[in-house]
Every structure is written in structure tokens, then in C-alpha cells.
């Protein structure tokens, strides 16, 4: 058995865990990350692509924003497609803000490099991870690495282990309230080394279902189509995907789509989920471990970043002996933002997707709401303000 001690044990090396580790290092707080997968597996997961300014600011604070600032694409708006036409929502004009298109994979890569360069410990491929003692004074993370039991004693545990992780599940059931909504469809996503069809993202409402034209760079595109929850990825050939995508876009955009072989193809279910509170004793939940939003509003990674921004601040103040207020207010501060993002993500998802039981009335209402949205400055501003992100 190997026994070690750290100040903060972080479970999960996704963006939440890695960013928390980087921010704590800036404040000279010692942390060890325990991750069940390999580094290659974590880097291979293709997910988010849109960063709010607040997230970029946190990356800067963590000392890891250089490549994002250099290679990230500044987007001043998005386009909504419905009734065969495109309508632009101008973030810059409506809010004075923009978003940055820079892949979660790149954020993860940059954070991993930073950790490796600073000799900060991340224990990958940890098996049978368990947390104990977080309801008292002496928490511990126990796991098995290369067949050897590891005991990591700590002051606090940060549960950054995503929706399927063990941290939330380790809290007594009667101490958490769960709020959940599962949507009756999924997103089929394709990544391909082809130039994006437009320089900004297109969110399309179409009678065959939602479609999203996103991107990672000037030469790499990320596209999604709404699909059935019964669909299997291997049923979707690249050709079938490109055909379906083009059917859901206005004719002139469909013609302009450059197709090519997919380098990744996956199906994601859509869910809204919140666990309250986000703290139990010396365990703090952050990111997808505490909440999930459907991806339409591009909020998941950004929420994870603001959670760990608050947590790093609270822990730093605690270790400086200044105050416990940041830790005591952590859950309430996060949840106030989380519910705003839940509302927006639910609303935008409901507006843009085909729901099996909506009927003709539901479709006409969506059309009416979309027309109102693009025709009203205050409605467009509300969309823009929520999309670019609320100030911290
Ligand atoms: P995760 O990324 O899930 O990381 C959790 C980590 O914990 C994983 O590495 C996992 O292996 C590890 N782990 C799990 N269990 C254990 C255990 N028992 N022990 C140790 N480690 C464990 N968000 C946006 O902001 N913008 C977008 O544009 C966007 N687009 C998306 C598109 C899609 C298709 C999807 C699926 C998601 C999208 N998101 C987006 C959401 C975003 O990807 C997530 O919110 C984000 O990954 C959350 O980060 P996290 O670190 O909290 O969790
Ligand atoms: C991407 C994903 C989203 O959920 C979104 O709303 C915008 C972009 C993406 O993967 O690029």
C-alpha cells in the first residue's frame, strides 16, 4: 500500500479537474488529481467547442491561455436557420461581447502540458476509486494503481468526475435533491478535416430535426444532427450523415458544405440535471458531476470553468487563513449561475428541436417564436446575453 497526503484531492481529469488543479497551483495550494482513464482516452473525447470570455479569463488566470488566444477563433455572432433562410444574431452589436471557438480537446491538452511542465501529479488509470471521511475532518481518496492500493489523505475532495462519477453517488441520498429532464432524442456529431461552411455557427430548426454547423479551426468542422435515441453510430455512414445535414440547411448553404471522411463520429443523449447542494462536508462537486445541460446553449464546459473558479478562490482564501466565506458560499454562488444556464439551455433546446409529441401546433409555435426572436431587438439581446455568458 502507498500512503500520501495533499491539501486538495481532485477526482477526475476532465476540464473541471485540470483547470481547478492549475488555478490551485497559482495560489500555492497543493493538489493531486486521480483519473480513472488514460490521458489518451481523455484527450480523444470530442465535446465542447465554444468558450465564453469568462472561461478564457480563467484560463489566463491559470497561466494557460496563450494558444487559445492565438489560435482560438473570435465569433461575434451566430446564425439561426429556419423557414429556408438564415438570420444573424449579432453578439457584438447587442452585448459588446464575443465568444471564442477553441475545442475542449485543446483546452484539455494545454492544461495537461501545464501540469506536466510544473511536475504536478495526475494519477491516470486509477481503478476502483472511492472517497471516504468527507463528512468529518479527515477525507481520503482510495484507489488501486498497477495493482497497488493507494491512500491519498487530504483536507478537501473536489468531485470533478463528471455525470457518471462516484463523488456525487457517495453522498447520502437524503442529503441531495436531484432535478432532471431527459430529452427524447440525441445528437449525432461528426468531426471532419474540411473547411467550415460559414465563418460563424449555424443553429438550424428544420422539420426533419435540428442541425448545427460548428467548427474547430479554418480547416476542421464539427457538425451535428438531431437523431433518434435508438440510432447506433455504425448505422450512420458518412454519406448518410452529410445527406441528412444538407437536407436540414437552406439550399445555398447545403450546396456550400464541403464533405469529407469523418475523423470522429458519436451520439450524445441530451439531458438537463442539477444536484443540490454542490457541497457535502469536505466534498465539493464541480462541473458535470453536479449539473448537466443539453449542449444546444454551449454552456457545459463554461459552467464547469466558473464552478472551479469559485472553488479555487474559496480554497485559496481558506488556506491564506483569511476567510471560510468563499467555501461556505460556494454551492449557492454556483447554483445561481447553474439555474440561469439550465433555463437558457432548456429554452434554446425546446425552440430548435423536433419533439415527437409536439404536433403541427408545436411546430407553428416554434416558427412564430423564431420570427419574433429575430425581429425583436430585446428578444435577440436576451439570446445574445445568455449565449455569450453572464459576468461572474
Ligand atoms: P468530464 O469532462 O466528464 O470529466 C470528468 C472526468 O472524470 C473524466 O475524465 C472521467 O474519466 C473522470 N472520472 C469519471 N469517474 C471517475 C472515477 N470514478 N474516478 C476518477 N475519475 C473519474 N460545453 C460547452 O461549454 N460548450 C460546448 O460547445 C459544448 N458542446 C458539447 C457537445 C457535446 C456533444 C457534449 C456531449 C458536451 C458538450 N459540452 C459543451 C459539455 C462539456 O463537454 C462538459 O460540460 C464538460 O466536459 C464538463 O467537464 P467536467 O470536467 O465537469 O466533466
Ligand atoms: C459545439 C457544441 C455545442 O453544443 C454548441 O452549442 C456549439 C458548438 C461544438 O462542438 O463545436
Condensed to tens digits (0 to 9), the pLDDT of residues 330-362 reads 999 999 999 999 999 999 999 999 999 999 999
Expressed in angstroms and rounded, the spacing between residue 337 Cα and the centre of ligand 2 is: 20
Contact 243, 237 (CB under 8 A): no
pLDDT tens track for 27-39: 999 999 999 999 9
Ligand in nearest proximity to the CA of 189: 1
| Residues 67, 302: Cα–Cα separation, whole Å | 18
CA dist., res. 290 & res. 287, Å (int): 6
Contact 248, 223 (CB under 8 A): no
For residue 305, which of 51, 44, 25, 40 has the smallest C-alpha distance? 51
C-alpha cell at 109: 491538452
Per-residue pLDDT at 391 exceeds 80: no
Q: Which of 10, 14, 43 to mutate to test the pocket of ligand 1 (most atoms within 8 A of CB)?
A: 14
pLDDT, the chain, mean = 97
Q: Identify any residues that bridge with 192 across adjacent strands, giving them in sequence order.
A: 221, 262
Closest residue by Cα to atom 39, ligand 1, is 48
Q: Do 42 and 135 touch, CB atoms closer than 8 A?
A: no
Sign of the alpha-carbon dihedral angle for 299, 300, 302, 304:
positive
Percent of the chain with pLDDT over 90: 97
45, 49, 77, best to mutate for ligand 2 pocket (most atoms within 8 Å of CB) = 49
Task: Let me know: does 24 contact 31? Beta carbons within 8 Å.
Answer: yes
Give the residue numbers annotated as catalytic, written as ranges. 75, 203, 295, 299, 387
Evaluate if residue 390 carries a pLDDT over 90.
no
Mutate to test the pocket of ligand 2, among 214, 288, 293 (most ligand atoms within 8 A of CB): 214
Residue whose CA is closest, atom 1 of ligand 2?
49
Instruction: Assess contact for 242 and 219: CB atoms under 8 A.
Output: no
Rounded distance from Cα 287 to ligand 1 centre (Å) = 8
| Span between the terminal Cα atoms of the chain, in Å | 43
Tens of pLDDT, residues 275-332: 999 999 999 999 999 999 999 999 999 999 999 999 999 999 999 987 999 999 999 9
0.75 cut: is pTM over it?
A: yes
Q: How many CB atoms lie within 10 A of CB 136?
A: 9
Contact status, residue 20 vs residue 158, Cβ threshold 8 Å? yes
Q: Pocket around ligand 2: residues whose beta carbon is below 6 Å from it? A: 48-50, 201, 214, 222, 295-296, 298
The grid cell for 144 is 488501486
Q: Which ligand is nearest to the CA of 50?
A: 1
Which residues' Cβ are closer than 6 Å to ligand 1? 11-17, 34-37, 42, 47-50, 104, 126, 129, 160-162, 164-166, 187, 189, 268, 287-288, 295, 298-302, 304
**How far apart, in whole angstroms, are the C-alpha atoms of residue 109 and residue 199?**
25
Strands ordered across the beta sheet of 99-101: 50-51, 99-101, 73-75
Return the half-sphere exposure (C-beta side, CA atoms, 13 A cut-off) of residue 27.
22
Between CA 69 and CA 72, with CA 71 as vertex, the angle to 5 degrees is 65
Other CB atoms within 10 A of residue 249 CB: 23
264-291 exposure pattern, b = at least 16 Cβ within 10 A, e = fewer: ebbbeebebbbbbbbbbebbbbbbbbbb
* 82-118 tens-digit pLDDT: 999 999 999 999 999 999 999 999 999 999 999 999 9
For residue 189, the ligand 2 atom closest to its alpha carbon is: 10
Amino acid at each position: 500500500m502507498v500512503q500520501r497526503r495533499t491539501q486538495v484531492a481532485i477526482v477526475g481529469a476532465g476540464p473541471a479537474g485540470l483547470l481547478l488543479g492549475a488555478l490551485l497551483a497559482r495560489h500555492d495550494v497543493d493538489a493531486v488529481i486521480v483519473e480513472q482513464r488514460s490521458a489518451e482516452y481523455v484527450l480523444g473525447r470530442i465535446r465542447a467547442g465554444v468558450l465564453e470570455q469568462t472561461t478564457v479569463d480563467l484560463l489566463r488566470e491559470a497561466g494557460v491561455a496563450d494558444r487559445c488566444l492565438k489560435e482560438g477563433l473570435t465569433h461575434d455572432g451566430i446564425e439561426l436557420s429556419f423557414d429556408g433562410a438564415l438570420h444573424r444574431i449579432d453578439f457584438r452589436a447587442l452585448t459588446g461581447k464575443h465568444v471564442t471557438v477553441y475545442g475542449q480537446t485543446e483546452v484539455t491538452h494545454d492544461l495537461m502540458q501545464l501540469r506536466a511542465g510544473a511536475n504536478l501529479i495526475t494519477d491516470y488509470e486509477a481503478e476502483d476509486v472511492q472517497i471516504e471521511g468527507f463528512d468529518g475532518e479527515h477525507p481520503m481518496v482510495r484507489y488501486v494503481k498497477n495493482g497497488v492500493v493507494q491512500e491519498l489523505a487530504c483536507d478537501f475532495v473536489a468531485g470533478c468526475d463528471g455525470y457518471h462519477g462516484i463523488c456525487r453517488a457517495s453522498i447520502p441520498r437524503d442529503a441531495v435533491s436531484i432535478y432532471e429532464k431527459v430529452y427524447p432524442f440525441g445528437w449525432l456529431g461528426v468531426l471532419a478535416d474540411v473547411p467550415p461552411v460559414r465563418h460563424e455557427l449555424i443553429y438550424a430548426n428544420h422539420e426533419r430535426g435540428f442541425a448545427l454547423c460548428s467548427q474547430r479551426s479554418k480547416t476542421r468542422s464539427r457538425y451535428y444532427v438531431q437523431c433518434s435515441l435508438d440510432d447506433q453510430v455504425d448505422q450512420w455512414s458518412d454519406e448518410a450523415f452529410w445527406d441528412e445535414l444538407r437536407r436540414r440547411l437552406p439550399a445555398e448553404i447545403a450546396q456550400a458544405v464541403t464533405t469529407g471522411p469523418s475523423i470522429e463520429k458519436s451520439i450524445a443523449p441530451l439531458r438537463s440535471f442539477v444536484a443540490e447542494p454542490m457541497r457535502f462536508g469536505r466534498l465539493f462537486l464541480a462541473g458535470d458531476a453536479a449539473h448537466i445541460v443539453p449542449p444546444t446553449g454551449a454552456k457545459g464546459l463554461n459552467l464547469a470553468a466558473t464552478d472551479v473558479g469559485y472553488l479555487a478562490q474559496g480554497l485559496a482564501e481558506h488556506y491564506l487563513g483569511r476567510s471560510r466565506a468563499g467555501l461556505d458560499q460556494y454551492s449557492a454562488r454556483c447554483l445561481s449561475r447553474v439555474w440561469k444556464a439550465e433555463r437558457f439551455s432548456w429554452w434554446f433546446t425546446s425552440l430548435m428541436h423536433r419533439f415527437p409529441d409536439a404536433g403541427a401546433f408545436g411546430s407553428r409555435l416554434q416558427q412564430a417564436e423564431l420570427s419574433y426572436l429575430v425581429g425583436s431587438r430585446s428578444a435577440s439581446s436576451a439570446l445574445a446575453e445568455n449565449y455569450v455568458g453572464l459576468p461572474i
